[in-house]
Every structure is written in structure tokens, then in C-alpha cells.
Amino acid sequence: MTAAMAVSSESALFQKYELGRLLGCGAFAKVYLARDVATGQDVAIKVIHKSRLKNDANLIANIKREISIMSKLSHPHTVRLFEVLATRNIIYIVLEYVRGGELFAKVAKGRFSEPLCRKYFQQLIAVVSYCHSRGIYHRDLKPENLLLDEKENLKVSDFGLSALREQVHADGLLHTLCGTPAYVAPEILAKRGYDGAKIDVWSCGVILFVLAAGYLPFNDPNLMNMYRKIYKGEFRCPKWMSPSLKRLLSRLLDTNPNTRITMDEIKRDPWFAKGYKNAKFQEIDYNFGFAEDKRPVDLNAFDIISFSSGLDLSGLFQEKHTSFEDVERLTVEEPPEKVMEKVVEAAKAEEGRVNLRKKKEWGVELEGQNGNILVGMEVYRLSERFAVVEVKTKSGESRLWKDKIRPLLLQEPNVSC
């Protein structure tokens, strides 16, 4: 990042990231190049304004799914999710910055040699197989979602349309229609349900064909004609392809999912296996839980909204309410120690009407005279100057929090996008 791109540390996002140039812009998000102030590392930050997500349940579901799935992945050929930050109005998804751009841009200049095709296809199969072993099916594999790092190695991105094993129906199949037309498997077009692993294999086959041929196997200006070709498996390999590559493609693009080649069979295929070495890496054990009996630790916003074992991400998009209590989370420009000082100060002002009981270092409960808990509060450090406060109040008993304590704490971080 150049000096002209940098902003002062005082105005850095959560005092952690200096925002730089715009990398890309989509329908609901912008992606910026940024620099980690502490390490100097470049990252990509996806900025999502919550106002743009209103009344779009599918879009919210895709974002939740992408965050949830990427948090489970730790592979050298996936784009790494570093953390998720959030204010009242904006979500910031901090990702690994992949410098080489899309594989699509490279293949658009011309087809690859078979050795180069093999390199990228081996990396693709390694990471897709890894995802499948963890019950994750990408469902939208295409060259536009494959990035290249500075060493020309593959990185799979965009898990917004991915599915988890838990989404499989009682018939053992997935039923949601998704994917990009030219890369979609014939069984999805049949609308009778499909195996997530098998449609990923099909998409990998289309990608391999594109890399080796320089064009799509199934293509037609008329979408219905293209779907007909996909459904019937009508494609021809160009004459320059080796016989062994043609044989592999015929098995990858088998219209019958029951006889289509499997991941294990791909790895044993003679064309694929040449020089293949499975990626060696140390997997990170993600644990977003919080143990009640342990000292509070420094957490980022992703950890805080992910206490449940099911990785509940609803806190990013809306406040939770139940018939028993209201829950609110807010970001404050104070360290946890200062937050607790202000809470104690507010409780002293209510002396005689409210008792303060400490739960742990950065957690308190405020009781009424009858011993009922009016407010429960826990504070988590987000950075040196910012914290997230999680507050639970009894329904109809929120005056103490809203009128007395909240005004002392509420200060939006100085961020702008």
C-alpha cells in the first residue's frame, strides 16, 4: 500500500486497519484494500451496509452462510477469513488479500498448457475434497471464484452459495437451485434433488475443460439450448487434448451422477496423479465458544456473535428478543476497564434502589430491591480502544440501562466508508 493510500492511525477502522483503494464493488458490498496497523499486512475488507440488506432474506442468508463456512476452513487453497467487525450500521468482513486476481482473467488470454492445467486442477481438487470431508459443498465453482496468489497458486473464494451437510434432505439430497448456468450440473436442471459433492465434481470438470480448451464445453447464445446441451452432455474435446485428458473429462462430465467419477477416483486417475502431492498444512482448530468459568479473553466481533455451538450469526443483522429478556450489543470507544468504571458510577447514583453484583472481571448484574436481576452485562475487548458490550434486560425493566447507563457508554467508532 502506498503512502497516498494510507490514512492516519487515529482514523483507522477500529484503530486496526487503514483503508486504501477500492478493489471492487457489488450489488450490496464494496471491497477495499487495507493494511493491518499492527503487522503491516495487506488485507481485503468487504464492507456491507446493513440498510442494503433490508427485506432481502436470501442475501442475508448468503452472507451468514459465507461467514459461517469460511470460519470452518483452514486450507492453503482457500481465501482465509481473519475476522468480522461490526457497528450498528455496517459489517466489515476482513479477508486474506489475494494479489494475483481471478483465474478467469488469465485464461481469458488463452488456453493453458496441460502441465499448467494439471497444476491448477490438482490444487482445485485438493481444496474441494477438503471441503467435502468437512461436509461443505461449494455449489458455484467457476474460474471467477478462483483467485491466484503472488506465487501463482490457487485460492477458492465466494462461499455464499455453499451448502452444509446439515442442509441435506431426508432423501439424502440437496434441493436448492443455484450455480452459474454454464457450470451447473444436469441433475440440478432436472429439479429432482442432487448430491452436493457430485455437482462440485461436474463444475470442476467444466473448469478443467475451460483451462485446457480456452472456451466452455457447453455454450450457446440461447440459454435453453445451452441447458439442453448440458442435460444431454453434448460437448467435444479439441484435437490438441491428450487422450488421457479426454478420458478424464468424459468421466468428470458424465451426465449420470451415479457413474460420474468420484474425488477418490480423480486422485487415482493417471492424468491427474502425475506429480501430485497432497497439500501439507497445519489446520487451525476454530473455537468460538466462551467458557463461563474462565477469565474473559480478548475477542473480535465474530467471536462475540458466535457463542452458540450452532454459530448463530443473527446478531450481525438484528437484535434478539425473547419474552423473558431483551438483548443488545453495542460497540463503544472505551476499553473494558473504563466501561466497568462507568457502570459502577451509574450504579452508585442509584444507591438504595439498585445493588451491583460482580460476576467476573468484566461482567456485572444489577439487582432491584426485591433481588430480581434488572440488568446483566458483559464486556469484551475488541481492540486497545474499543469494546463490545452485551446487555440483557428483563422485559419492561430497561429504564436503568437505557436512561442511565447506555448514555454514558454509547459512542460510535470513528469509521467511514
Residue 146 near residue 157 (C-beta atoms within 8 A): yes
Amino acid type, 299? L
* Maximum distance among all Cα pairs of the chain, rounded to whole angstroms: 89
Marked catalytic residue, from 56, 140, 195, 220: 140
Q: Which helix (H) or strand (E) holds 126?
A: helix 114-133
Q: How many CB atoms lie within 10 A of CB 140?
A: 20
Cα distances from 413 to residues 143, 167, 209, 377, in angstroms, run: 38, 38, 49, 20
Q: What is the DSSP letter of 300?
A: -
Is 140 among the residues known to form the active site? yes
Distance CA 411, CA 388 (A): 11
Buried b (16+ CB within 10 A) or exposed e, 77-113: bbbbbbbbbbbeebbbbbbbbbebebbeebbeeebbe
Tell how many helices (H) and how many strands (E) occur in the chain: 13, 14
Q: Which helix (H) or strand (E) holds 375?
A: strand 373-381
Enumerate the active-site residues: 140
